[in-house]
Structure 1
Amino acid sequence: MLDAMGIGLIMPVMPDLIVEVQGGSLANAALWGGILSTVFAIMQFLFGPLIGNLSDRFGRRPVLLISLVVMTVDYLVMAVAGSMALLLIGRLVGGIATATSGTASAYVADISAPKDKAANFGLIGAAFGIGFVLGPLIGGLLGGYGTRAPFYAAAALSALNAVFGYFVLRETVTDRIRRPFHWRRANPLGALRHLGKLPGIRPLLMMYFLYQVAFHVYPSIWSFFTQERFGWGPGTIGLSLALFGITMAFVQGVLIRFVLRWLGERNTVVYGHVFDVFAFAALAFVTSGALALVLTPLAALGAVITPALQAIMSKMVGDDQQGELQGILTSIYALAMIVSPLMMTSVFAAFTHDGAALYLPGAPFLVSILLILIGLAVFVRNPPPQG
């Protein structure tokens, strides 16, 4: 939750920060925002499997604590950055440090019974949602004191998180599940090649990728979309992200347990995809800022997909491969973050620039609908085993 708060704090001020550092129009800032997100994601893509494999060998605790210390330094660098080059360096380092999300998921897999994995993976999403409520809300308020204030607050949160984790985080990797480290499996292609040999998991990895590309339409263009479409400032953008986070936390922390009980993991994945199609279609064409605020939390009701998919795949690998699996999921997530910001911001710029043949700020949401339908078709054609 504290880690998500640190990330969410800086989102409302990113458009203004880029304009302040680089100059130019909002459309130009959106393109730079896509570049920064892509650089960040490339590092996660490259280092996710490496860090996941290291956690299988040396334990989850040291990997998680070191990453928080590095993130503290990274936020401080971005707080004083006066050029796009320094912002890019900050995103390079930050991408490596935050490639530990898979390690956190592996930690949850270590302490969860098979029947509880989906619900407990949902708790990670709920914690992220709560952090996403508080982070953007506070970030929007701190934005009134300047574009740098949220970065100092994010650094403080990461430092406090490292101290907190030092005292409460116990190690879960025992000699029973400890696995030797191999460089050939500590890179995205090597890990994917190894896991891809497991029956039925390759289509699930493809579906996971398509969904993450589609879902990342939110962080990729939300600040730019709402400012262009409704004229929102940092405060209102922060409020909308807070509403999304509240609903996401409720869905993944509470509602998902009932949905899983009623539908099971496979049908839960299908339900989430169908719901997101309708949510994205509504956001693509909404013209009222008030209605958009109403739709924002409703759009989070499809957030059951990721924990359900994680649980299905976690049950298909051994206890000594949880870090490796979650590491490759981190890489796939990062690859989606590379593709999605470039794709979504480019589509946004194409449909909002002066002289655009068709003015449609919500066009990226239509792209997301197409990707979701393709992923759902893959899932239906390659159903995972019941479990």
Structure 2
Amino acid sequence: MEGTIAIWGQETFVWGPKEIGFVMLLAGLTQILVQGVLLRVLLKYQNETTIIRSGYVSLILGFFIIPFSNLYFIPIAVILLCYGIGVSNPCLNSLISKNANPESRGLAMGSAYSSQAAARFLGQPLAGLMFLYLGKNYHFYFDVIFLSLLAIFYFFINLNRTKTL
């Protein structure tokens, strides 16, 4: 989102640096609240897996809302996206460190961070190309479809795992 929101906002709402700055301010403050306050509270009542699921649902909803947004729905979409990112990444990293073999924990964490960096490195240019050649909303559609397919895949893996237990 960070890589294309400025040009998307300019293209959709004729936003300039000031308006984009307000969106980024909202995103930053939301991330601070989510990771600094809300995540700590959620972890007292829910496990990481449940929180990750809520984060993925929030990401899907946020990416889905943006292309259909007016000025009133953009803050909702940004908050949903920041919640999704803000709870999913720390909980995923926590689960990886807890479930990795102690001898290979460094390798597991390094691989996870490398994968996240590669996704950001490859995702931004891909989103830019979609924006340029397909239209301003297609990278959001792609995100919704991709995350939805991951959710379906996860559901079937867990369904099979439950049947074998």
* TM-score, shorter chain, exceeding 0.5: yes
Q: Gaps spanning 5+ residues in structure 1: where? A: 1-217, 353-360
The 8 Å contact of residues 246 and 297 in structure 1, kept in 2 or not, is answered as no
Match of 1:291 in 2: 73
Q: Distance in 1 between matches of 2:67 and 2:105?
A: 38
Distance 1:381 1:294, change over 3 A: closer
Q: Distance in 1 between matches of 2:80 and 2:60?
A: 12
Q: Distance in 2 between matches of 1:307 and 1:350?
A: 34
Q: Distance in 2 between matches of 1:257 and 1:313?
A: 18
Aligned length: 158
Distance 1:322 1:235, change over 3 A: farther
1:244 to 20, 27, 40: 27
Q: Distance in 2 between matches of 1:326 and 1:223?
A: 32
Q: Distance in 2 between matches of 1:309 and 1:381?
A: 19
| Equivalent residue letter for 1:267 | T
| Equivalent residue letter for 1:344 | A
Distance 1:313 1:381, change over 3 A: farther
Match of 2:117 in 1: 334
The 8 Å contact of residues 266 and 308 in structure 1, kept in 2 or not, is answered as yes
Q: Distance in 2 between matches of 1:346 and 1:312?
A: 33
Matches within 5 A, 1:133-172: none
Match of 1:308 in 2: 91
Q: Distance in 1 between matches of 2:90 and 2:153?
A: 18
2:50 to 250, 267, 270: 267
Q: 1:225: Cα distance to partner?
A: 0.8
Match of 2:146 in 1: 371
Q: 1:362: Cα distance to partner?
A: 2.1
Distance 1:382 1:314, change over 3 A: farther
Q: Distance in 2 between matches of 1:293 and 1:373?
A: 22
Match of 2:11 in 1: 228
The structure that has the greater radius of gyration is 1
The 8 Å contact of residues 268 and 304 in structure 1, kept in 2 or not, is answered as yes
Q: Distance in 2 between matches of 1:253 and 1:378?
A: 31
Backbone CA RMSD of aligned residues: 2.1
| Equivalent residue letter for 2:151 | L
Local SS of the residue matching 2:15: coil
Q: Distance in 2 between matches of 1:295 and 1:255?
A: 18
**More helix, by proportion:** 2
Q: Gaps spanning 5+ residues in structure 2: where? A: none
Runs (4 or more) in structure 1 with deviation over 4 Å come to: none
Q: 1:313: Cα distance to partner?
A: 0.9
| Equivalent residue letter for 1:259 | L
Using structure 2 for the length normalisation, give the TM-score: 0.83
The 8 Å contact of residues 248 and 301 in structure 1, kept in 2 or not, is answered as yes
Q: Distance in 2 between matches of 1:243 and 1:351?
A: 28
Match of 2:40 in 1: 257
The 8 Å contact of residues 220 and 340 in structure 1, kept in 2 or not, is answered as no
Local SS of the residue matching 1:281: helix
Matches within 5 A, 1:107-118: none
Match of 1:78 in 2: none
Q: Distance in 2 between matches of 1:247 and 1:280?
A: 16
Distance 1:307 1:293, change over 3 A: same
Distance 1:364 1:293, change over 3 A: same
Local SS of the residue matching 1:219: coil
